[in-house]
Structure 1
Amino acid sequence: MEQSTQAGLFTRRFGPPPREGVPNVVLVHGLGLSGRYFVPLARRLAVGGATVFVPDLPGNARSRAAARRAPRVGELAGALTRWHRGLGVGPSLLVANSVGCQVVAAFAARQPHLVRRVVMIGPALEPGAGGWRQCGRLLADAPREPLSLLGVAVADYLVTGPFRFVASFRHALRDAAESFEGHLARVAAPTLVVRGAGDTIASRAWTRRVARVVGDGRTAEIRGAAHAAHYSAPAALAALIEEFTSGGRA
């Protein structure tokens, strides 16, 4: 793994240096977190020959100083665009978890030429579900995740800070109510929507709806995993992604 700062964002890179002919993957984390919980999946994908980039979004974790306040979802998508252009790579496979799916939906809707395919893992937040209900779903999911993930998440939340976390949560709720589905409808790239079978945050009905709203969507479910399937079941998810990118139906 190599670490650097690109366009103001702390970035991890796995696999070979970016070059023409080598597929590149961008992993986008969820609310208040860092890219650390994507490391198991990044390593699996890099073994397959891909160049994998894992940024910390502005205002979060090691990119906290990149924003003076908690950015809105659209601002995060704009920062991701500037960061991606700075990499100088071609269209990417974008893989996102939770609220990161809202960021990627906005990014893909605005910058379709930078997107090869999209994978959404446990897309959140679900429109129509209020803040307290979403918090209840998050608390219900916590016991279903590996203890090591909870340690990573708590450390990241502390670095990001409680005030920024709350502000980011409010921004994400507003985006879910006003913009998320509209952005999804403008995603033209083939999209795989994945959920862990034990996910209490992204329901089966909602993930199926996401797959119907995007232009070319399909779904998959991973047994024995919850909201962060990329962390608890990286091998299973990497296999789904590899099948999906090779043209399979997952």
Structure 2
Amino acid sequence: MEQSTHAGFFTRRFGPPPRDGAPNVVLVHGLGLSGRYFVPLARRLAAGGTTVFVPDLPGNARSRAVVRRAPRVGELAGALERWHRGLALGPSLLVANSVGCQVVAAFAARHPRLVRRVVMVGPALEPGAGGLRQCGRLLADAPREPLSLLAVAAGDYLVTGPVRFAASFRHALRDAAESFEGHLARVVAPTLVVRGEGDTIASREWTRRVARAVGDGRAAEVEGAAHAAHYSAPGAVAALIQQFTAGGQT
């Protein structure tokens, strides 16, 4: 793993250096977190020779100091676009978890030429569910996740800070209510929506709704996983992604 900073983003890279025309993957984390919980998946995807980038979004974890306040979802998508162009990556496979799916949906809707395919793992937040209900779903999911993930998340939340986290949560709720599904409708890249079968945050009905909202969308489930299926079942998620990028059915 190589670590560096690009456009203010703390960035991890797995696999070979990026090459013109070679496939690359960008992994986008969820609310208040860092890219650390994507490391197991990144290693598996890079094992096949793919270049994988795992940034910390501005205002979060090791990119916290890049901005003075918590960015809105649209601002995060804009920052991701500047980071992406600065690295001259070309069309990427974007893989996101939770609220990161909202960021990627905005990015893909606005910059379709930079997107090869999209994978959304446990897309959140569901419109109309309300803040208290969403918090309840998050608490219900926690016992279903590995203890090692809870430790990673707790450390990231402490670095990001409760004020930033609360502001980001409000921004994400507003985006879910006002913009997310509109962005999904404008995504032209083939999209796979993945759900852990035990996910209490992204319901089966909601993930299928997300897949239907995209012009070329499909849904899949991972047995024995919850909201962070990419962490608890990285091998299964990597296999789904590899099958999806090869053009196979999931």
The yes-or-no answer on 1:83 pairing with 2:83 is: yes
The separation in 2 between residues aligned to 1:11 and 1:206, in whole angstroms, is 31
1:12-23 equivalence runs, <5 A: 12-23=12-23
The separation in 2 between residues aligned to 1:181 and 1:22, in whole angstroms, is 31
Q: For residue 249 of structure 1, report the CA deviation from its aligned partner.
A: 1.4
The separation in 1 between residues aligned to 2:186 and 2:79, in whole angstroms, is 19
Q: For residue 20 of structure 1, report the CA deviation from its aligned partner.
A: 2.2
Over 6 Å off, 4+ runs: none
Percent of aligned positions with the same letter in both sequences? 86
The separation in 1 between residues aligned to 2:170 and 2:21, in whole angstroms, is 41
The separation in 2 between residues aligned to 1:54 and 1:72, in whole angstroms, is 20
Partner of 1:58: 58
SS of match in other structure, 1:154: helix
CA contact 2:115–2:189 (8 Å) conserved in 1: yes
1:94-105 equivalence runs, <5 A: 94-105=94-105
Q: For residue 124 of structure 1, report the CA deviation from its aligned partner.
A: 0.2
Letter in 2 for 1:82: R
Q: For residue 90 of structure 1, report the CA deviation from its aligned partner.
A: 1.0
CA contact 1:14–1:52 (8 Å) conserved in 2: yes
The separation in 2 between residues aligned to 1:214 and 1:242, in whole angstroms, is 20
Q: For residue 48 of structure 1, report the CA deviation from its aligned partner.
A: 1.2
Partner of 1:37: 37
Letter in 1 for 2:135: C
SS of match in other structure, 1:32: coil
Partner of 2:229: 229
Letter in 1 for 2:201: I
CA deviation string 1:87-139 (max 9, x = no partner): 11110000000000000000000000000000000000000100000000000
Letter in 2 for 1:114: L
CA contact 1:95–1:121 (8 Å) conserved in 2: yes
Partner of 2:195: 195
SS of match in other structure, 1:221: strand
1:234-245 equivalence runs, <5 A: 234-245=234-245
Q: For residue 49 of structure 1, report the CA deviation from its aligned partner.
A: 1.2
SS of match in other structure, 1:153: helix
CA contact 1:22–1:49 (8 Å) conserved in 2: no
CA deviation string 1:180-208 (max 9, x = no partner): 00000000000000000000000000000
The separation in 2 between residues aligned to 1:47 and 1:92, in whole angstroms, is 17
Structure 1: gaps (5+ residues): none
Count, aligned residues: 250
Q: For residue 231 of structure 1, report the CA deviation from its aligned partner.
A: 0.2
1:17-166 equivalence runs, <5 A: 17-166=17-166
Q: For residue 246 of structure 1, report the CA deviation from its aligned partner.
A: 0.2
CA contact 2:21–2:90 (8 Å) conserved in 1: no
Partner of 2:181: 181
The separation in 2 between residues aligned to 1:178 and 1:21, in whole angstroms, is 36
The separation in 1 between residues aligned to 2:55 and 2:21, in whole angstroms, is 22
Letter in 1 for 2:235: A
Relative to the length of structure 1, the TM-score reads 0.99
SS of match in other structure, 2:65: helix
Structure 2: gaps (5+ residues): none
Instruction: Single out whichever of 36-45 and 20-29 deviates more from structure 2.
Output: 20-29
Partner of 1:218: 218
Q: For residue 42 of structure 1, report the CA deviation from its aligned partner.
A: 0.1
